[in-house]
Amino acid sequence: MPPLPAGRVLQVVQAPDPVLATPGMMVDPTAPEVIALAADLLATQAVSPGCVGLAAQQVGIAWRVFSVDVTGHPKARTCHGEFVLCNAVVESATRKERGREGCMSVPDFTGDVARARRLVVRGQLPVTGEWVTLETDAFEAVALQHEIDHTDGMIFLDRVAGPHAVHPRRTYL
Amino acid sequence: MTLPPPVLAVTVLGDDRPGIVAELTEALAGVGGNLEDSTMTLLRGHFAMVVLVRTGASQEDVESAMAPLAQSGGLSVDVRSLPDPAHLSGAGQPFTLRVHGADRPGIVASITRVLARHQGNIVDLGTRLGSALYVLMAEVMLPEGTDVEAVQADLAEAASGLGVDVSLHPVDDDLL
């Protein structure tokens, strides 16, 4: 990850805010406002307990930018540390397993969602705009799919496995 | 300060056919009802639904609105007022319970009695009977600090007596 300027902590928006249902625009990863957003996402994620990823839609901006950091999570195997990707797409997704996930933007519910545990994602780094391919697995793969969904204007409720797959959310921390 | 109207529980049971949910919810909307939690399923072909609704209309008005549904044949409708719960369930750790085996009377009673002895609270449950196979799936909240291995051992003992298979696994949920 290229170094980023210091970011600001932004307010996280919650469903049913329409921005969460808005597919993101492609961005120029070298543009100053995109670099600033990348830094803001990491700063906001860092002060949010238990948060392992944050998408632009969650801070009110419908762009194709998100951050992820699963460092130290007990379910992580492959871990690329803290990073931001722009214009990311899933290249391949295999070994689907069902898990229960929650989201900072959906405070009342969790949901059972099938997500691939083997994943290849292609996207651009902020600042340089370099295209990178990430191969990952386990929890980082789940986090990436969750964030890429946000950039497509989807939340986990758009993927829950059936009528008994939405649950009241417990207190996490 | 005006108190919110009490929540009414509307229960509908009977012969299944297309359109029951639409008719029921249109009738509730017609008396200004705002739906809250609800669940509906088919139990061996029988329609079964419970819906919680708040409305400024009286219980009698809601019952009147439901009358055409009840009169359309094959459906029984019950409307009753519910007090707000003294506390919201959901404290503790969630577990998934799975039971399957040859059908016989007493499976659900024996298994859930074990959970109750450990203060387990069932928050979701479904059972299905096949031609001979009985299946039970439930989500259970166990209090913090529960000796889960002891619960699993007690379940295994009960299941052994019934000749069924049982498993109890924690539900992992992750904030993303």
**pLDDT tens digits, one per residue of A18-35:** 999 999 999 999 999 999
In a domain, A11, yes or no: no
Q: Output the six-digit token pair for B141.
A: 């909240």
pLDDT given for residue A173 in this prediction: 44
Element (H, E) at A136: strand A131-137
Residues 46-65 of A with CB under 8 A from B: 50-53
- Look at residue A8 and tell me if it is in a domain: no
Pull the structure tokens for residue B33: 């009802």
Return the pLDDT at B84.
80
List, for residues B3-51, the tens digit of each pLDDT value.
778 899 999 999 999 999 999 999 999 999 999 999 999 999 999 999 9
pLDDT of A15 reads 96
Claim: this prediction has a pTM higher than 0.80: yes
CATH code for the domain of A26: 3.90.45.10
Q: Is A147 assigned a catalytic role?
A: yes
CATH architecture of the domain with range B7-82: 2-Layer Sandwich (3.30)
- Give B90's contacts in chain A (Cβ within 8 Å): 168, 170
Query: Is residue A97 situated within a structural domain?
Result: yes
Mind giving me the DSSP string for B39-87?
EEEEETTEEEEEEEEE-SS-HHHHHHHHHHHHHTTTEEEEEEEEPPPSS
CATH code, B93-170? 3.30.70.260
**B112-141 residues labelled b (16+ CB within 10 A) or e (exposed):** bebbeebebeeeeeeeeeeeeebbbebbbb
pLDDT band at B90 (very low <50, low <70, confident <90, very high): low
**Interface with chain B: mutation pick from A48, A75, A170, A171, highest number of B CBs within 10 Å:** A170
Q: What are the sequence ranges of the domains in chain B?
A: 7-82, 93-170
Q: How many CA atoms lie within 13 A of A165 on its CB side?
A: 16
Would residue A88 count as lying in a domain? yes
Cβ pairs bridging A and B (under 8 Å): 48
pLDDT tens digits for range B1-12? 677 788 999 999
Point out the residues of chain A with pLDDT beneath 70. Answer: 171-173
| Among B90, B126, B176, beta carbon nearest to A146 | B176
Q: Is A51 domain-assigned?
A: yes
Predicted confidence (pLDDT) per residue in B138-151, tens digit:
999 999 999 999 99
Inside any domain, residue A87: yes
Mutation for B interface: A70, A100, A151, most B CBs within 10 A: A100
Q: Which domain holds residue A43?
A: 18-168
* Candidates A82, A130, A140, A147; catalytic one: A147
Structure tokens at A152: 């497509």
The total of structural domains in chain A comes to 1
For residues A133 and A92, give the distance between their C-alpha atoms in angstroms, rounded to a whole number. Answer: 11
